[in-house]
Structure 1
Amino acid sequence: MAPRIVSVFGATGVQGSAVLRALLKDGTFTPRAIARNPESEAALRLKARGIEVFEGDSLDKASLVSALRGSEAVFAVTAPIHPIKAEGEGPNEITQGKNMVDAAKKAGVKFFIFSSLPDVTKMSGGKYKNVLHCDQKAVVEEYLQSSGLANASIHLGAFLENYWKFGLLKKTATGFDVAVPNFTATDREAFTWVERDVPPAVLALLNNYTDPSKNISGKSYPIVNATMPYAKLAAMTAEVLGVEVTFTSAPPTGVLPMDEMYAAHAEYSGFYTATPVPNPDLVALGVQFGTIEEFLDMEVKPRFGH
């Protein structure tokens, strides 16, 4: 029987690498990593784990068609090209995403999962119009939904892994501090434990997309573990670590897209208030979400505890 290949973009990032590991462990599908440089250190590490790596550049559609041939499904993540350019000003995430969708169609891919985000300009009625890394993903999601490919999109909140990947949990003389621009102590954020819960959600979509009764295609699936203030997350962290963990409302970064992103997240409680936590659509597909308590115990305590 021919392998059921799932090609993964963003294979060395937080999302893509977690999905690859889950595919490899689950065994139903054969993971294939798509990389600009198949001989990079990160790509060689994937090969050492038994994952095939194909060369494909998201700005070169022809290379993507070759890379995706034989794939049943795709998991795609686009990444900002810095400096971030608006549509029509040069290559951006829209260019990447549309190339991926077009190449997938041409290569005969049957199902396409895209890691997207809401359109913040639309959500805010034009109040926040510079969060291009969100808006551009939303354009790609609309393009995917109109492509004729069976598709699903996942929407993520603030990565809980940012505690260590971006140094959000900073050491102080008495413990730790969580400093976030444009958030007050009562503003709520949607949090996602990416490495724990994105993989089972993706596997659930892959395992069920062929069942018409599941009504998967064309839908967006927020993956959120909890919606709460950063101050509450800090307090829960303090309880687990047994030291003081404070929350600080940090000043703006001075980078407009980032500052508007934080302000929009604060104003709209992380974007996903219309979807109950945990997402009932994913729970119905068998996904069991982790909790903040589990995250703190399993990930934060070993890294930051004494």
Structure 2
Amino acid sequence: MSFTQSQQTIVVVGATGIQGSGVVRALLSDEYGGPWFVRALTQDPSSGKAQKLLSDYQTTDNRLSLVSGHVYDESSLRSAFTGAYGVFAMTSERYPGKLITEEWELKHEINAGRNIISAAKECCIKHLVFSSLPDTVKASDGQFKRIHHMNNKHSIEQLARKELNGFTSLIPGFFYTNLVWPQYCRLREDGVVQFCMPLPGNQMAQWTDPAHDMGAFSAKIFHLGVEKTKGKAFLALGPRITPEGMAKVFMRVTGKPAVHSPISFEEFGRLSSALVGPAFKEDAIEMMRWAAVAPTDKTCYGAFELEVEQSSEDLGLTASSFEDWLARSGWTGP
């Protein structure tokens, strides 16, 4: 069967970010069942980041194009989505060019999600794959109600399931790339690398390579097709590992001394809010308070039964271990 270019075109929202660029790379590759034509959505196609994306990933047959669009401007999304087969979408707790000072303002992320869903529906997008997160209010039995950046994504997912016929969610764990931030990892004056996330040393968590794993999983979902994947939630989660385990793996791989020595929840929240705004502080604190006590006999931030992990076996893929990510990224500490 032959396909027109529009039937093979995927729009990637957030294409110049870590997740989005990974999805762009995977879709343009033939490694996961492609190749596809890709429209990389960016606020400014002439920006340095957009032009670098084009330079890094353009194919010999020019299957990558840049398209202007903004998740807070639905008309721009409709223009970008018109004629495409599918969309990979993500939303962010950050608001471009603004620090968030009031907690209610974090709902901006849901507005972005609504715009994406509305544009996808109007443009008859056959398959929307969304980078989601679980409902932590439900998972924690109502104990933690202010992890807005997770719950907002879950709300968007629920709306998409209601409004769209061809929808698939993809849920990552903590991002290994977060280790570049001082609330996760830092270099002490004595030369020791300190894994400092405020978790008990023996508390299991699951992590994800946001570029490689989200790219591979998304591309494979699009390849399998909407009929086989619609309505499903796939978990892109690496093997369980403790903070102490991360320090040990890091030492073995890099040869550098490392320990896990947690900072306070308060310091974690303060540092995490620097990029989003002061209203994000309690969100970040509650996320880590929940991660510190989340039941380890469940998966995905303690939100799902272990059997749900088997859904990703349909893709024939396994998310990256910490050692995989260290080898792939070449990261040797802060």
Relative to the length of structure 2, the TM-score reads 0.82
The answer for the alignment partner of 1:303 in structure 2 is 331
| Superposition pairs of residues 1-306 of structure 1, within 5 angstroms | 1-3=3-5, 4-26=8-30, 27-48=34-55, 49-50=57-58, 51-80=64-93, 81=95, 82-83=99-100, 92-164=108-180, 168-172=184-188, 173-181=190-198, 183-210=199-226, 212=227, 214=228, 216-252=229-265, 253=267, 254=270, 255-268=281-294, 269=296, 270-271=301-302, 274-275=305-306, 279-299=309-329, 302-304=330-332
Identity of matched residues, %: 26
* AA in 2 matched with 1:271: G
Asked if 1 retains the 8 angstrom alpha-carbon contact of 2:73 and 2:115, the reply is yes
Give the structure with the higher percent strand: 1
Number of residue pairs aligned between Structure 1 and Structure 2 = 297
Q: Secondary structure at the match of 2:78?
A: helix
Mark the CA change 1:140 to 1:74 in structure 2 (over 3 Å): closer, same or farther.
same
User: Unaligned regions of 5+ residues in structure 1, if any?
Assistant: none
Asked if 1 retains the 8 angstrom alpha-carbon contact of 2:134 and 2:303, the reply is no
Asked if 2 retains the 8 angstrom alpha-carbon contact of 1:85 and 1:91, the reply is no
Cα displacement (A) at 1:169 = 3.5
* AA in 2 matched with 1:178: F
Cα displacement (A) at 1:272 = 5.3
Relative to the length of structure 1, the TM-score reads 0.89
* AA in 2 matched with 1:290: S
Deviations 1:140-194 (A, max 9, x none): 000000113311111111111222366733223243110013x111222111122
Moved over 4 A (4+): 84-87
* RMSD value, Cα: 2.2
Give the structure with the higher percent helix: 2
Instruction: Report the Cα distance in structure 2 between the residues aligned to 1:276 and 1:103, rounded to whole angstroms.
Output: 34
Instruction: Report the Cα distance in structure 1 between the residues aligned to 2:160 and 2:21, rounded to whole angstroms.
Output: 23
Instruction: Report the Cα distance in structure 1 between the residues aligned to 2:83 and 2:197, rounded to whole angstroms.
Output: 44
Instruction: Report the Cα distance in structure 1 between the residues aligned to 2:158 and 2:253, rounded to whole angstroms.
Output: 42
Instruction: Report the Cα distance in structure 2 between the residues aligned to 1:148 and 1:260, rounded to whole angstroms.
Output: 32
Instruction: Report the Cα distance in structure 1 between the residues aligned to 2:147 and 2:168, rounded to whole angstroms.
Output: 23
Deviates more, 1:31-40 or 1:263-272: 263-272
Instruction: Report the Cα distance in structure 2 between the residues aligned to 1:280 and 1:192, rounded to whole angstroms.
Output: 17
Mark the CA change 1:288 to 1:129 in structure 2 (over 3 Å): closer, same or farther.
closer
Q: Secondary structure at the match of 2:170?
A: strand
Instruction: Report the Cα distance in structure 2 between the residues aligned to 1:71 and 1:113, rounded to whole angstroms.
Output: 13
Cα displacement (A) at 1:284 = 2.6
Cα displacement (A) at 1:304 = 1.7
Cα displacement (A) at 1:59 = 1.1
Asked if 2 retains the 8 angstrom alpha-carbon contact of 1:85 and 1:92, the reply is no
Mark the CA change 1:57 to 1:221 in structure 2 (over 3 Å): closer, same or farther.
same
If asked which structure has higher relative contact order (CA below 8 Å, sep 6+), I would say: 2
* AA in 2 matched with 1:123: A
Q: Secondary structure at the match of 1:256?
A: helix
Mark the CA change 1:293 to 1:72 in structure 2 (over 3 Å): closer, same or farther.
same
Instruction: Report the Cα distance in structure 1 between the residues aligned to 2:161 and 2:149, rounded to whole angstroms.
Output: 19
Q: Secondary structure at the match of 1:177?
A: strand
Instruction: Report the Cα distance in structure 2 between the residues aligned to 1:84 and 1:164, rounded to whole angstroms.
Output: 25
Asked if 1 retains the 8 angstrom alpha-carbon contact of 2:15 and 2:21, the reply is yes
Asked if 2 retains the 8 angstrom alpha-carbon contact of 1:57 and 1:63, the reply is yes
Asked if 2 retains the 8 angstrom alpha-carbon contact of 1:170 and 1:178, the reply is yes
Deviates more, 1:77-86 or 1:185-194: 77-86
Asked if 1 retains the 8 angstrom alpha-carbon contact of 2:89 and 2:129, the reply is yes
Instruction: Report the Cα distance in structure 2 between the residues aligned to 1:292 and 1:224, rounded to whole angstroms.
Output: 11
The answer for the alignment partner of 2:276 in structure 1 is none
